[in-house]
Chain A
């Protein structure tokens, strides 16, 4: 039997702040159509604290296998402590095409995506008071590790991300013994 290879788009909003606007944007026909255009087979959404209502609405409106899903299999959950396990499903492997991660500017997700060398779209949450996520997103885009996008521009951002191969992280980014060095700086050892 021939195995069809999967291609995953994983969307995550993190555990602490809710980001309903991003969830609404991806659980929607235009975005699904865009995914289908680039031959994505799976969409997995970590919808966070207050996203369950949107997820349930989506489930009712678009039951599995319905036409509007355009052949994309959709899954969702509120939170998993081991999200990287699901991010691994976007790594290019046997029966797996290189997928993409769409993330609020959460540090953990960005670092995991860098480590797995996955394409990444960062959508900073404009509702958060502090704009340091925006700084990080801009910096990551300049370093070509990610595409920075506004919520409304997600579809164009996917076009951009598809057009460019992601920069591979030149590891390690800084000396490996930095932390242990800092600790020994604080000790007064005689040599």
Chain B
């Protein structure tokens, strides 16, 4: 009969030590691959006119508003950013509507601007305080939200996709990891073109992978950028296993993180998490310039305000 001490040591050597070694190995692989992928210089590759596919992550109210400000300011050429995928979270109709509106204007060949748009004639009716009027206004609002008046959610050069939320406001931290995994899974499916009900890309796109992912910090952005990194890791490993590791190829799933304009002196939680992950990390205030996740990693860049 073994003494309790012997049982403990046996357990220790057979279970705990291997777990610790494996854990250490996993952490080193993750750190090393983050380090390598952030510092690798891309080989020049002739894209041969391969159309660009940009994925834009929209979040709750503020993040979406900022992203649309950025897209408006950038005034990108829709023939260069040939295909746009917008990702919103379930239940966030505001973001989906904003993206659809933006694309509708893009189709009409004009970028919107608060200074140019005309106000509705009935603005002063908002000051009517009688209940009947209030009811009227409500009816009008309902009508405006009815599906037939909505701009379409997909078109020749764009689509709007909806993923489950990473974490609802006030959601218990006990169940949050599960919904985060659910969200991560949905992001992996979107990036590899397997998402349920996903509008297929035009046939001139060689792969389902977007070329560039642009995001500015909602929770779903963390899932999306981690998903991109995971996919890139597997693409790299499979290229290495098949002996094509050094053959030049178009790099896809590159990530651009723009920290919220509201962040002057401190990074947001999403920002802190994604600092070692993003290929390009942009801040909009000087105090945040030059930060990095750990020594040897890429620094944050300051490019002025991107929003206005």
What residues make up the interface of A, taking CB atoms closer than 8 Å to B?
A: 14-16, 42, 44, 59, 63-64, 73-75, 77, 81, 84-89, 105-108, 111-112, 114-116, 132-133, 135-136, 138-139, 169, 171-183, 185-190
Contacts and interface: CB of A to CB of B under 8 A. Distances in A.
Contact of B127 (A42, A59, A188): A42
**Overall SS of chain B's interface:** loop
Given A111-B308, A173-B304, A75 B127 contact: yes
Interface in B171-210: none
A112 B307 CA distance: 11
Interface residues of B, number: 63
A5 B127 CA distance: 16
Contacts of B282: 178, 182
A174 B303 contact: yes
Given A107-B261, A179-B70, A186-B279, A171 B308 contact: yes
Nearest to B130: A64
Interface in B69-126: 69-71, 73-76, 81, 94, 97-98, 113-115, 117, 119-120, 123, 126
Contacts of A188: 42-45, 47, 250-251
B308 A132 contact: no
A186 B280 contact: yes
Nearest to B145: A81
B119 A89 contact: yes
B256 interface: yes
B264 A132 contact: yes
Given A59-B129, A176-B75, A107 B280 contact: no
B74 A107 contact: no
A44 to B, nearest CB: 7
